[in-house]
Structure 1
């Protein structure tokens, strides 16, 4: 099988997709692998929960800024080139991060890692659209599933390895993936065509405003543990409005807010995806620390416990896909939301004297919910947007995931400011329960169209 694009012939599209998929998993994998390492990092550098939340959130803020930016750069300067540069940056950060003498150096390496991994998804999606013509949307959706699944397995992988090599080993895990992706990319991804007709118009102000609004909201959310800071809140609102109206007038905006305002159903899907991500990533973020600091489990056992979320989420992905193809989106998505409410609610029944088997079952229920909601939301998105909009839609989907991650890390910093214990765990769970309930009316609204309720 071969796919012709311009002068090039892709002789093995499957291996090209594998090369891209290996690169795509690096961002979500590194997003969640660090969660099991947080107690060790916190102890080594004497960090507070607020410091830890900034260590996590800084990665997401950088990723959220650079994902759309590098996506546009790859369109102009070559996707293969940008993809390989991303792999190089991840290699540098993965080599030096384990040598970090302090928190600041580790944050710096994580920032380089975030920039590198942010190059891989948009460049990869661009190459799929350029070189793969058969089942293109399915391939894009599959890459998104790869990203979600690797995020779910991150805590388990790191938990098993930290037991033997300490927290630095989570960075060395990247090298086999990087090497395989680079070899396949060099061999099977066609060289970029030099484009002298187009030049990239940098939206510097848009980039600065977007990064500023992300940081301001993070500062505001982090300050909630000390009370409501009205001035930080007002500043965050003002920067958000300035960003919106500035980008709306741009012909080539950094974030296409016009696309969102003109496609309200798509915007609601992104909101739903943010809410689902808050619940999912909050569990991945605080549960490993709870297991190690409260239940006194070692990192290996904590990683195995977290396996329940990832395995059941992965198992539900193909089941939910076939279910959606059979009866449509509404029933599966509502089912996923209700199961999520049940799983999060049951977490309130668990404490440090409960059985680990019971916790494993609760996490499995939450994993089932995430598997349905994740693949359902992604497939729903690609069923609404036109083929030519798949690039911007997929990029904004990843940005939505990072916004959800940032909100989850902020929630973690606020809820566990006084430490990890059952009381704070229940407070965190109560907030996640509210988020889960809010998803129900959103799902009903998005799937109200007959075209989305009936058979797909």
Structure 2
């Protein structure tokens, strides 16, 4: 990799790590936020839900915007938005205001994740899996080390500090990105002096509106049912309205001249669809462990925040060590073998969780964390490599955005799964049931990778 490519990777990496870093640090802060704002576990979990709902919508929207208006501009704007949110969130007078600033933070960091992957796809044209492994170090490292950093910061300075810690990353990334991210070629579809109607059609504002309202309604209906513990008539109506809106979105996209999400392209490339489905399931598994285990350690085993962060560190180390190895492996053999090994490791890790009992040494949890950490390193590189193989270059922005929406949908479903299994209180019995469910999901991924990866070529295309 050339010196220019290395600096480009560092510039992008420092920006995209903000999203997983902020999603992971908050997992250790949940008990502290419950105490500070006098909330129960279900209510405080909206600090997680709001971030991922906003991210799941912002990712493809910003991907579409970057395809039209330039990836460099969107990336730099995202850094500014994240900076503002990080300054204001610690000043929140109520939990409601904290949710608002988390949503703003999610939008800003989402701008960088979707666009950052597209920048790599466009400007690094050889050994892309190796390049992806570098980004994976930023992404998986930030996500997995986040609880450790969060535990230390909260222990010494309190929960507001987990927002202030973003500021140096934002400043350095902005300065490097301004210098090292190449300026974009102007899109042939965008022209000065266009009428409002043409701009409206170009960005597919109707499609974005249908997608946003439909997805928000669906997630709110599901989350409200989770909060109350059952599906009320109101929840059912909201979900039905959401499904109607999403159906209208599909119909609109099939007719639009410049669709927000090119569904016809997905239909012609079914591998793109399977990549997103599998990635969603992978994240249901990973984040069920990621959010469930810290709460289990603190609420069931009474482990301190600091010790919980130390234990979760094994997840990050295994991901970091695995990522560069995965990059070289995938450049030679393609993503299928790595993804199959990853699914097997997640199965073994899930089975190990089921075998734990209330007297098992806390350190034994590290075995499950190691299995999931290695699989996470393989997945972060392998799934993105599979996306690059299956996605046309001209829609890589929206494809990357939708890919990350699959990540956030999986994350939201993992939070729903934990809440449904645990009910109103986190318990050891519920944790064991969770392990059984995760084992079933992991086995399904083994099956998918055996049956659905034959259509990928042996290696990533170079040039």
Structure 1 contact 159–303 (Cα < 8 Å) conserved: yes
Work out the CA distance in 2 between the residues paired with 1:160 and 1:344.
28
Shift in alpha-carbon separation, 1:394–1:159, aligned structure 2, 3 A? same
Structure 1 contact 67–119 (Cα < 8 Å) conserved: yes
Shift in alpha-carbon separation, 1:25–1:133, aligned structure 2, 3 A? same
Per-residue CA deviations over 1:341-363 (Å, capped at 9, x if unaligned) read: 11111112223322012111122
Structure 2 contact 65–203 (Cα < 8 Å) conserved: no
Is residue 304 from structure 1 mapped to residue 310 from structure 2 by the alignment?
yes
| Count of aligned pairs between the two proteins | 448
Cα RMSD (Å) of the superposition?
A: 2.9
Work out the CA distance in 2 between the residues paired with 1:418 and 1:447.
40
Alignment gaps of 5+ in structure 2: none
Q: Secondary structure at the match of 2:21?
A: helix
Which aligned pairs between 1:85-96 and structure 2 lie closer than 5 A? 85-96=77-88
Alignment gaps of 5+ in structure 1: 3-10
Is residue 51 from structure 1 mapped to residue 43 from structure 2 by the alignment?
yes
Q: What corresponds to 2:34 in structure 1? A: 42
Work out the CA distance in 2 between the residues paired with 1:409 and 1:79.
31
Q: What corresponds to 1:122 in structure 2? A: 114
* Counterpart selection for 2:368 from 359, 362, 367: 362
Relative to structure 2, which stretch is displaced further, 62-71 or 319-328? 319-328
Offset, 1:122: 3.4
Shift in alpha-carbon separation, 1:202–1:285, aligned structure 2, 3 A? same
Work out the CA distance in 2 between the residues paired with 1:160 and 1:169.
10
Q: What corresponds to 1:103 in structure 2? A: 95
Relative to structure 2, which stretch is displaced further, 134-143 or 258-267? 134-143
Relative to structure 2, which stretch is displaced further, 223-232 or 176-185? 223-232
**How does the TM-score come out when normalised to structure 1?**
0.88
Structure 1 contact 141–378 (Cα < 8 Å) conserved: no
Is residue 167 from structure 1 mapped to residue 159 from structure 2 by the alignment?
yes
Structure 1 contact 274–404 (Cα < 8 Å) conserved: yes
Offset, 1:425: 1.4
Q: What corresponds to 2:451 in structure 1? A: 445
Offset, 1:88: 1.7
Structure 1 contact 49–416 (Cα < 8 Å) conserved: no
Relative to structure 2, which stretch is displaced further, 295-304 or 246-255? 246-255
Work out the CA distance in 2 between the residues paired with 1:264 and 1:177.
38
Q: Secondary structure at the match of 2:349?
A: helix
Structure 2 contact 130–331 (Cα < 8 Å) conserved: no
Q: Secondary structure at the match of 1:208?
A: helix
* Counterpart selection for 1:340 from 346, 352, 366: 346
Offset, 1:213: 2.7
Work out the CA distance in 1 between the residues paired with 2:275 and 2:130.
18
Work out the CA distance in 2 between the residues paired with 1:450 and 1:61.
31
Structure 2 contact 332–459 (Cα < 8 Å) conserved: no
Structure 1 contact 346–362 (Cα < 8 Å) conserved: yes
Work out the CA distance in 1 between the residues paired with 2:203 and 2:455.
38
Q: What corresponds to 1:433 in structure 2? A: 439
Work out the CA distance in 2 between the residues paired with 1:353 and 1:55.
32
Structure 2 contact 136–377 (Cα < 8 Å) conserved: no
Q: What corresponds to 2:24 in structure 1? A: 32
* Counterpart selection for 2:245 from 239, 244, 260: 239
Which aligned pairs between 1:386-425 and structure 2 lie closer than 5 A? 386-425=392-431
**How does the TM-score come out when normalised to structure 2?**
0.87
Work out the CA distance in 2 between the residues paired with 1:140 and 1:343.
25
Work out the CA distance in 2 between the residues paired with 1:137 and 1:94.
32
Work out the CA distance in 1 between the residues paired with 2:12 and 2:280.
25
Q: What corresponds to 1:197 in structure 2? A: 191
Work out the CA distance in 2 between the residues paired with 1:183 and 1:440.
43
Offset, 1:453: 10
Work out the CA distance in 2 between the residues paired with 1:73 and 1:91.
20
Work out the CA distance in 2 between the residues paired with 1:373 and 1:123.
20
Shift in alpha-carbon separation, 1:79–1:324, aligned structure 2, 3 A? closer
Offset, 1:214: 2.3
Relative to structure 2, which stretch is displaced further, 198-207 or 292-301? 198-207
Q: What corresponds to 1:152 in structure 2? A: 144
Shift in alpha-carbon separation, 1:58–1:164, aligned structure 2, 3 A? same
Relative to structure 2, which stretch is displaced further, 113-122 or 132-141? 132-141
Work out the CA distance in 2 between the residues paired with 1:450 and 1:69.
27
Work out the CA distance in 2 between the residues paired with 1:266 and 1:164.
45
Q: What corresponds to 1:20 in structure 2? A: 12
Shift in alpha-carbon separation, 1:416–1:215, aligned structure 2, 3 A? farther
Structure 2 contact 279–407 (Cα < 8 Å) conserved: yes
Is residue 275 from structure 1 mapped to residue 276 from structure 2 by the alignment?
no
Is residue 183 from structure 1 mapped to residue 175 from structure 2 by the alignment?
yes
Work out the CA distance in 1 between the residues paired with 2:327 and 2:132.
14
